[in-house]
Structure 1
Amino acid sequence: MKATYRRTIIAATTLSLAFVMITHATADAQPGLTSNTGAGCPTVAGIFVPGTWETSVDADPTRPRGLLAPVAAELENQFGDKFEDRFPAYAARAMDGMSYGDSEAQGVAAAKSALSEIANRCRATKFIIAGYSQGADAAGDLASEIGCDQTPIPPQRVLAVGLIADPKQGTQGGKLVGPQVNGTGIRGTRPTGFCQLSAVTAQLCEQRDRYCATDAASNPILAGLGKALSQPTSASTAASTDTTSQGLTESLDAGFSKLDLTHLTTDIATIVDQITSGRIDTTSVGSAASSAGSVLSGLADLGRWATGNPSVQRQLSNASPGSPEQLAGQILTAVQQSDIQSAIDATTSLTQNLGASGNGHNTVDPALAQSAETLASAIKPLTSTPTDALSQAAGVLSLLKPSTLVKQITTVGSGAFTFAANIPKILDAARQIGAAFTDPNPDLGAKVRAVHQIFGTINNLCQPLVQMAAGVDLSTVSTLIELIPDPNGIASIVSLIVGLLGNLDVIGLARQVGTLQENLWHIAETITGGGDLLAIGGAFAQLVPTLLGFATIAVDTLTGSAAKTSPEMLNTPTTVTGGGTDLAGIAELLTRSASSQGADSLSQLVSEGIDAAQFYNSGAHQSYDSYVVGPGGETALEWLTKWFANRIRQVGV
C-alpha cells in the first residue's frame, strides 16, 4: 500500500511539473496583454459551466454558483477587475422532463454564447474555460471545437481548460491530474480530441466517480446504458442519435421537473382565481394551464407506471416518516385518488377557449368557469397536499422512474443469469418428488424428510427470483435492457432471459413451495413427537396429490405453458395450473454466457448499487472539494484554482 501511495504521489508530482513547464512554454509564445478594446473589458475572462441541477435557464450568469463558485471567487479576489467570470445559464437537467443530451447541447450553446459575447466586445481578452459534471461535458465540447476547428475564437486566446468529472474523460490530448482512474467517461470520449488546446487541458476525476471513470471493457452494459441515457432526443440535437438509444432515454424520462411539480398548486390557483373573478390575463392563465397540463400528464404516466411496479410503492411507503421518499409515496397515492385524465382534458379545454374570452372582462365565461371547476375538483387530493411537502417530494418523483428502472435493469439482469443457471437443478429436484413416493422404503418419517429436503432445495433456488418478480414489471425491464447499445451482445441475452421470466408463473410456484414446506414440516414434527402413525400416514396420503401437483406446475412452469399468477396472490391458497414458455430448452445456451466477462460485470453493477441518480449525483461525484490530487495535499478545486491563477499571471496580470 505504501509503495502504491508513493507511486501515486510521484506520478502526481511529475504531472504537476509537466503542467508548469507546458504553461510556461505556452505563455512565452503569447504576446503580452497591454490593452483591450471596449469599455470594461477584462484582461482574462473565465467561462465556468455549472453541473446538473446547479443552474437553470433563468439563472443570472454573472452570479457564481455550484461547485466551481469558490474557484471563480478566489480568482476575482486575486485579480480584481482584470478578471471577469461568467456562469452560463442553461437547463442543466437530466431525465426530469428534459433528456441529459438535450440539456448538455443547450449548455454548449450557452457557453459558446457567453464566450463569444466577451470575445467580440473585448478583442484582446484571453479566456479560461472550466466545467463540472454535465458542465464539464459542455465545456470540453466547446474546448474541442476551439482547439480543432478554431471557432468561435482562435485557440491562442485560451489560457487553460479545466474539466472536473468530465463524462468524456479520456479524450485524446487531455491531461488527467491526480491518481489514475479505470476507464473513461461514461459517455465515451470526444472523437476529435482537444487538438491545439491539448497542452493546456486538465481533467480531474475521482477514482470512484463512475461519471468520469467507467471501464467499458469490464462493464459493457453500464457503459452502454450511460451512453444511451445521455443521448439527445430533440429534433435539433438528435440528428446523429440512433432511434434505439432515443427510445430508451424517452422511456425513462419522468416528463416533469422538480420545479414544474412545485408550481402545480400555484398554477391551479392562478387559473381558478382569475376565471372566477372574470378578470383574465389570457397570457398568465394560458401559461398556467399549459404548465399544469404538462405536469399532470407526467404524473398520470408515473402513476400508471408505479401501479405496475409494486416494489416502488412499498419502498416509498416504508421510508422514514416525513422523509422526501415517504412524502413522494403520499403524492403518488393522491395521484391515484385523483381523476387526472379529467383534469388534463380541462387544461386542454381552457387553452382552446381562452382566446375567445379576451383580457380584462368583468364577466365570468361559463365554459371557462366549468373547465376551471372540473380541474380544481378532479385533482383536489393532489392540490390539498401542503406546498412544502410537494416541494420535498418533487425531487424524488422527478427521478423516480429512471432511478428505479435502472436499478431494476441491473438487479433483474443479474438475477436472470443466476436463475437460468439454476433451472436444471430446479427441474431435477421437481422430478425427484415422484421418485420419493415410489421409494420402497417403508419408513414414513424418512420419506417425509426426503421430500421436505427436496422442497428446501427448490425454495433456495427459486426464492430470490420469486420475491423480485412479485414487485417488478419484467416485461418492461426486458424491453429496456434490449434497448441498451452493447456491442458484446450481453444485453440482448439478458433481455431474452428476463422476457421469458416475465411469462413464467413464478408467483404460483412460490405459493406452492411455501404451503407444501409448512405441511411437510408439520408432519415431520408430528412423527418426531411420537404421534399416531396411522393418522400421520393418512395425512401424508392426502398431501400426495398436492405434492404431485407441485411437481407438475414446477416442470410446466419451466418447460411447458403455465398460466401466470398475480403478485397479489402470493399469500393466498394455492391452485395447480399448467402452461408456460420452454425456458429449460434454452437454459443451457444462456448459462454459457453467465460466466462471460459481461455477465460478471453485470453482477458487479448490482454490488456497486448503481442507479440513475448516481450517474449524475453520487457522493463521489460531489467530493472534489476534498479529493486530493496534488503532491502537496491539494484538493481538486485547490489545484484548479492555483493552476488557473498561474496561467493568468504568466500573461502579465
Structure 2
Amino acid sequence: MSRLATSVTAALVVAIVTSWTTVVGDARADTARTQPCTRYTAILAPGTWETHIDADPAVPVGMLRPLGDGLQWQFGRDITVLYAPYAASAFDQGLTYAESLSTLEATLHHMVATLCGSTRVVLAGYSQGADGIGDLATEIGNGAGPISADRVVGVGLLADPHRDPDTTLSLGNPQPGDGIAGARSQDFGALTERVRTLCADGDLYCSLNATASPFLSALGKVLSGDPAPIAYLIPAYTDPGTLIEQAVTVGAGWAATAANLPTILEGLDTLPRLLTSGDIAAAHQIASGLNAALSPMVQAAASVDLTLVASVIRAAAAVDPSGWTSAASVIADALAYVDIQRIAFTAGHIQETLWRTMESLTRNDHLQAAAELAVLTPSVFDLADATLGPLLTAVRGDLALAVDTLLDIGGPESIDELVQLARQGAALASFYGSNAHIDYAEDVQTLLGFLRTQVAS
C-alpha cells in the first residue's frame, strides 16, 4: 500500500465514521429518544470480525452475546443492551487494526454521548472491542470522557490487548504478563474499582511477557498501535495473525542462522579444500553440518514475503527498548537479499552428490566417483557465492554489531540466546494452533456475574 493510498485510506476511515455518525447514528439516536429511557444501558463492543460498521446495534453478536442475553434476562425492561457496530478489521478488510479501532472509538463516543441523561451505563468489550472499551473507560475515569464516571456502574474487558494486571483487578484465573499492545499510559482513575479484566490461559494477546518475549511484544505494539510505520508496506486484506506468525518464524530462522554463522562460514571455507584433497568422508560431514546450519533460514523463508517481514521487524525495533528486535532487524536486513531458495537447492545437491560419491567409492567405482566430483566443485562455489556475496555486501559489518548488541544486553552467554526467538516462534505457533483466544465461554459467565452484581447494587 503506497503512502498516498494510506492517506486515502485514513481519509476514508474518517469519512465512513463521520457518515455513520451523522446519518445512521443520528437516525438511531432519534429513534432511541422516542422510546422510554431505561434505567440502565449496556454497551458491548464485539471483537475483530464479529461485527461491521453497518450492523444493527440492537442485534446480539459475537462472544459477548451470552453476556448481553444474561443482562437482558436479569433486568428485563430496566436495561437496554446495545452492540457497538464498527469496522472490526485488522488489515484484512483494507484497514489497519488502528484504523479499525478508530471507527470503534468514534462509535462508542457517539453512542455514550447520545444516551439519555438518567440512564446508568455498563461497558464491556472482547479483544479489539476490549481495546476500545478500555480506552473509553480510561478517558471517563480520568475526567476526559463523554459522560461522568459516576454514571458507569461496571466495566468488563475480555482478552484486552492493553491488559495491565498491575493496575486492573482480574477475574477468573490470573494470568502473567501484559497485553500484546503494552499497558495503557493511564490507569482507569475513578473507575478503577469498577473495572475487571479477564484473560484465558495461554492467550498471548492479553498475557505476553515482554521481558521473555521482547520480539513478540514489539511486533504487537507496532501492529496494534500507530500504523504509520508499516501501513504503506502491508497489502490490503492481510491477516494480522499470519503476519505476526511469519515475522516470528522468519525472525527465529534468521536468529538461528546468525547463531550458526561461524559454522556456515567455516563450512564454506573448508569444503572446497577437502574436495581438492580428496577427503570425501570429511567433506560429506562438513556438507551435512552446513546443510543443518542453513536449514533454519531455508525453512523460515518458505512461503514468506521476506521483504515485507523484514520491514515489519524493522518497524518493531523502534518500540523495543531491550535492543533484541533491533539486533533482529539488522539480521533481517542482512539476510533478506540472500537467494535462499538457491542456497537450499545447492546445499541439498552438494550433500546428496557427496553421498553418492561415497557410495561409488565403497563399490570401488572410481570413475563414477570422479564423475560426481567433476560437477560438484562448481556447486560448492555457487553456494559460497549465493551466500557470502550478498551477505557480506548487505551486512558490511552490521551483523557483528548485532551480535555485539546482544552480548552487551545479556553477557557472553547470550549468543546462545539468539535461539530465544525460535522458542518464541514455537510458543506463538502453539498459540495459533490452540483456541486460547476464543476459549472465553466460562469467562463470559464470570464477567456476567460481576456485572449483574454491579447493576443490582
Q: Give the TM-score normalised by the residue count of structure 2.
A: 0.81
Letter in 2 for 1:504: V
Does the C-alpha gap of structure 1 residues 519 and 103 become closer, same or farther in structure 2, counting only changes over 3 Å?
Answer: closer
> Is the 8 Å Cα contact of residues 44 and 123 (structure 2) preserved in structure 1?
yes
Match of 1:223 in 2: 217
Q: Deviations over 1:472-495 (max 9, x none)?
A: 443332222111132223223222
Q: Bigger CA drift: 452-461 or 582-591? A: 582-591
User: Could you tell me how far 1:470 is from its partner in structure 2?
Assistant: 5.9
Alignment-mate amino acid for residue 581 of structure 1: T
* Aligned counterpart in structure 2 of residue 67 of structure 1, from 53, 63, 69: 63
Give the match for residue 83 of structure 1. 79
Q: Give the Å deviation of 1:135.
A: 1.2
Q: Which residue of 2 aligns with 1:183?
A: 177
Q: Which residue of 2 aligns with 1:602?
A: 421
TM superposition shift of 1:47: 1.3
Q: Which amino acid aligns with 2:136?
A: L
The answer to whether the 8 Å contact 2:403/2:415 transfers is no
Once the two structures are TM-superposed, the CA of residue 81 in structure 1 deviates from its matched residue by 0.8
Post-superposition Cα deviations, 1:207-241, rounded to whole Å, max 9, x if no partner, equal: 3111211222222221221121123xxxxxxxxx4
Alpha-carbon distance, 1:510 to partner: 3.7
Per-residue CA shift, 1:399-440, capped at 9, x if unaligned?
45x44443222111111121122222223233333543565x
Aligned residue in 1 for 2:455: 648
Deviates more, 1:195-204 or 1:171-180: 171-180
Offset of residue 526 of structure 1: 3.0
How far, CA to CA, are the matches of 2:35 and 2:343 in structure 1? Answer: 79
Deviation of the 1:109 alpha carbon: 2.2
* Aligned twin of 1:54: 50
Equivalent residue, structure 1, for 2:315: 483
Q: 1:213 aligns with which of 207, 214, 223?
A: 207
1:248 and 2:230 correspond: yes
Instruction: Establish whether residue 581 from structure 1 lines up as the match of residue 393 from structure 2.
Output: yes
What is the rounded CA distance, in whole Å, between the counterparts of 1:253 and 1:174 in structure 2? 36
Partner of 2:444: 637
State how far apart, in whole Å, the 1-side matches of 2:199 and 2:280 are: 60
One-letter amino acid of the structure 2 residue matched with residue 644 of structure 1: L
Q: What is the match of residue 282 of structure 2?
A: 450
Q: TM-score, normalised by structure 1?
A: 0.58
SS in structure 2 of the partner of residue 202 of structure 1: strand
Structure 2 unpaired stretches of 5+ = 1-32, 408-413
Of 334, 352, 365 in structure 2, the residue corresponding to residue 518 of structure 1 is 352
Per-residue Cα deviation, 1:28-59 (whole angstroms, up to 9, x for no partner): xxxxxxxxx99612122211111112211211
Q: Are the equivalent residues in 2 in contact too, given 1:421–1:587 (CA < 8 A)?
A: no
Structure 1 residues 410 and 437: alpha-carbon distance in aligned structure 2, compared to 1, 3 A threshold: closer
Task: Call closer, same or farther: CA 1:139–1:436 in 2, change over 3 Å.
Answer: closer
Residue in structure 1 matched with residue 411 of structure 2 by the alignment: none
Percent identity between matched residues is 33
Question: Would you say 1:500 and 2:334 are equivalent positions?
Answer: yes
- Name the aligned partner's letter for residue 156 of structure 2: G
Name the residue aligned to 1:98.
Answer: 95
**Would you say the 8 A contact 1:172–1:193 is kept in 2?**
no
Whole-angstrom distance in 1 between the partners of 2:207 and 2:48: 17
After superposition, the CA RMSD in angstroms is 3.1
Letter in 2 for 1:647: Q
Q: Distance in 1 between matches of 2:35 and 2:304?
A: 62
2:350 touches 2:380 (CA, 8 Å); kept in 1? no
1:623 and 2:439 aligned: yes
| Matched-pair contact (CA < 8 Å) for 2:357–2:373 | no
Using the alignment, how far apart are the partners of 2:51 and 2:394 within structure 1? 52
The one of 128, 148, 157 equivalent to 1:154 is: 148
SS at match of 2:197: strand
Change in Cα spacing, 1:418 to 1:87, as seen in structure 2 (3 Å) is same
- State the distance in 1 between where 2:162 and 2:101 align: 12
Q: Sort the Cα spacing of 1:511 and 1:58 in 2 relative to 1 into closer, same or farther, 3 A.
A: closer
Q: Is the 8 A contact 2:215 2:324 kept in 1?
A: yes
Indicate which of 549, 552, 563 corresponds to 2:378. Answer: 549
Partner of 1:167: 161
Output the CA distance in 1 between the equivalents of 2:170 and 2:300. Answer: 41
- Distance of aligned partners of 1:44 and 1:463 in 2 relative to their CA distance in 1, 3 Å threshold: closer
Residues 131, 162 of structure 1: 8 Å contact kept: yes
Q: What is the letter of the counterpart of residue 455 of structure 1? A: A
Are the equivalent residues in 2 in contact too, given 1:559–1:584 (CA < 8 A)? no
Classify the secondary structure of the residue corresponding to 1:251: coil
CA distance in 2, matches of 1:437, 1:414: 32
Offset of residue 195 of structure 1: 0.8
CA shift in 2, pair 1:597/1:556, >3 Å: closer
Aligned residue in 1 for 2:259:
421
Q: Is the 8 A contact 1:488 1:598 kept in 2?
A: no
Greater mean deviation of Cα atoms: 519-528 or 198-207: 519-528
Q: Report Cα offsets for 1:72-114 as digits up to 9, x if no partner.
A: 2122222221121111222121112112112222212212222
Please tell me whether the aligned partners of residues 298 and 341 of structure 2 are also in contact (alpha carbons under 8 angstroms): yes
Where does structure 1 lack aligned partners over 5 or more consecutive residues?
1-36, 232-240, 255-397, 563-579, 626-634
Read off the aligned partner of 1:246 and give its amino acid letter. Answer: A
Q: Distance in 1 between matches of 2:436 and 2:402?
A: 35
Where 2:228 maps in the other structure, the secondary structure is helix
Deviation at 1:189, TM superposition (A): 2.2
Distance 1:61 1:597, change over 3 A: farther
Q: Aligned in 2, Cα 1:546/1:468: closer, same or farther, shift over 3 Å?
A: farther
- Tell me how far apart the structure 2 counterparts of residues 150 and 464 of structure 1 sit (CA, whole Å): 50
What is the CA–CA distance in structure 1 between the aligned matches of 2:381 and 2:178, rounded to whole Å?
Answer: 51
1:48 aligns to what SS in structure 2?
A: strand
- Separation (CA, whole Å) in 2 of partners of 1:76 and 1:597: 56
Task: Spell out the pairing of 1:26-41 with structure 2 (5 A cutoff).
Answer: 40-41=36-37
Q: Secondary structure at the match of 2:230?
A: helix
Does structure 1 residue 528 correspond to structure 2 residue 335? no
| Cα distance change, pair 463–636 in 1 and its aligned pair in 2 (3 A) | closer
Q: 1:161, 1:520 → 2: CA distance? A: 67
Larger C-alpha radius of gyration, 1 or 2?
Answer: 1
1:194 aligns with 2:188: yes
State the 1:610 CA deviation.
4.8
Q: Is residue 173–residue 201 contact of structure 1 (8 Å, CA) maintained in 2?
A: no
Report what 2:113 is aligned to.
116
Between Structure 1 and Structure 2, how many residues are aligned? 415
Quick one: which amino acid aligns to residue 292 of structure 2?
N
For residue 149 of structure 1, give the secondary structure of its aligned residue in structure 2.
Answer: coil
**Distance in 2 between residues matched to 1:458 and 1:524, nearest whole Å:** 18
Aligned partner (choices 231, 248, 268) of residue 410 of structure 1: 248
Distance across 2 between alignment mates of 1:80 and 1:607: 47
Provide Cα deviations, 1:147-202, integer angstroms capped at 9, x if missing partner.
Answer: 11163222111111111111111176421112221211122222221111111111
Which letter does structure 2 place at the counterpart of 1:521?
Answer: W
CA distance in 2 between partners of 1:431 and 1:600 (Å): 24
Q: Deviations over 1:454-481 (max 9, x none)?
A: 2222222223423544644433322221
